[in-house]
A = this chain, B = another copy of it.
Amino acid sequence: MNIRIGILGYGNLGRGVECAVRQNPDMELRAVFTRRDPKQLQILTDTARVCSAEALKEWQKELDVLILCGGSATDLPVQTPEYAKFFNVVDSFDTHARIPEHFAAVDAAAKEGGKTAVISAGWDPGMFSLNRMYANAILPEGKDYTFWGRGVSQGHSDAVRRISGVKDAKQYTIPVEKALASVRAGENPDLTTREKHTRECFVVLEEGADAAQVENAIKTMPNYFADYDTTVHFISEEEMKRDHNRIPHGGFVLRSGVTGWEKENRHLIEYSLKLDSNPEFTSSVIAAYARAAYRLASEGVHGCKTVFDIAPAYLSSKSGEELRASML
């Protein structure tokens, strides 16, 4: 029998999960749950229903895993603990600093309900975290580097959009090639924020807005831009639609370490992602961890798990024999 999936929330991530489920033949989307009017929501999967989020708890026997596709700021801190009592759940909670408290809340709820929850499945947190952890375990003496981009930062794009006179904006985070090259060369540089990434903004102005003023407001914005070298391009609405309609992202996780009795040998471990669609890749990671959540639940392993706690084989549709014969 297929793994029966439900999705709560139908933004970019929810739609991405819908697409990812279709690519996994052992999974089946049963329903999308929305806080909007279900009648107004059009999904892609003919065989799945669209239901009100209020009806969710009636679906306990109909779903194997519920995937929570809300935002990390306000949705998931409430939703994941709430639904982990009733469903096996997966989320992609990505506020790094708040993961410990989110874990604690979800763990308590999942244990209370006898369910399995996976939090922070995605690529950072997620695949990047895994690679940081593996690399640190293998090379205990070394230095870590994470670079992001080239890709769209939703948070920074939103920050620019809030500036008065800005009609629309998209911000790209770009790793500095020179810094990457230095890390790859084993130079173990100490890098400032400015030396690691640059920021590039594409801005559509409101009619009559002052470009110089907007540019200055962006470049001096604390936390978001002041510590970076930022380039601002003013473009038309048509250019925005034509050239910036995707949500690409990616990045690099590196660890540079030493081995040998005299620490005489150097090693570099590098993991990188180049993604056309940030939400769809995140969704693909979520789908694989939904399979893991389902299997762990079947084995009676309850509570909250992260990517660190789940053996890789749980993610794959292949059996142990198949994996050993084809991929080891």
Contact = CB atoms under 8 A, between A and B. Distances in A.
Interface of A: 16, 18-20, 22-24, 44, 96, 99-100, 103, 120, 125, 127, 129-134, 136-141, 184, 246, 259-261, 264-277, 280-281, 283-285, 288, 291, 306-313, 315-317, 320-321, 323-325, 327-328
A136 B327 contact: yes
A71 to B, nearest CB: 18
Nearest to A259: B280
Given A259-B19, A274-B267, A311-B309, A284 B324 contact: no
State the number of copies, please.
2
A273 B267 contact: yes
A315 B132 CA distance: 12
A11 to B, nearest CB: 15
A65 to B, nearest CB: 15
A290 B321 CA distance: 23
A327 B131 CA distance: 9
Which residue, A276, A306, A308, has most C-beta atoms of chain B within 10 A? A308
Given A271-B271, A311-B310, A313-B133, A120 B259 contact: no
A23 B325 contact: no
Contacts of A184: 274
A325 B134 CA distance: 16
Given A134-B127, A316-B136, A284 B308 contact: no
Contacts of A18: 261
Contacts of A321: 100
Which residue, A130, A246, A321, has most C-beta atoms of chain B within 10 A? A130
B260 A267 contact: no
Q: Which 10 A-B pairs have the closest CB atoms?
A: A265-B276, A137-B315, A265-B277, A308-B313, A259-B280, A268-B274, A137-B288, A129-B328, A137-B316, A311-B311
A96 B328 contact: yes
Given A267-B273, A268-B274, A328-B99, A139 B259 contact: no
A309 B316 contact: no
A176 to B, nearest CB: 19
A259 to B, nearest CB: 4
17 contacts: A18-B261, A24-B140, A99-B325, A100-B321, A130-B134, A133-B315, A133-B327, A184-B274, A265-B276, A268-B273, A270-B270, A270-B274, A306-B328, A308-B324, A309-B320, A310-B311, A311-B311
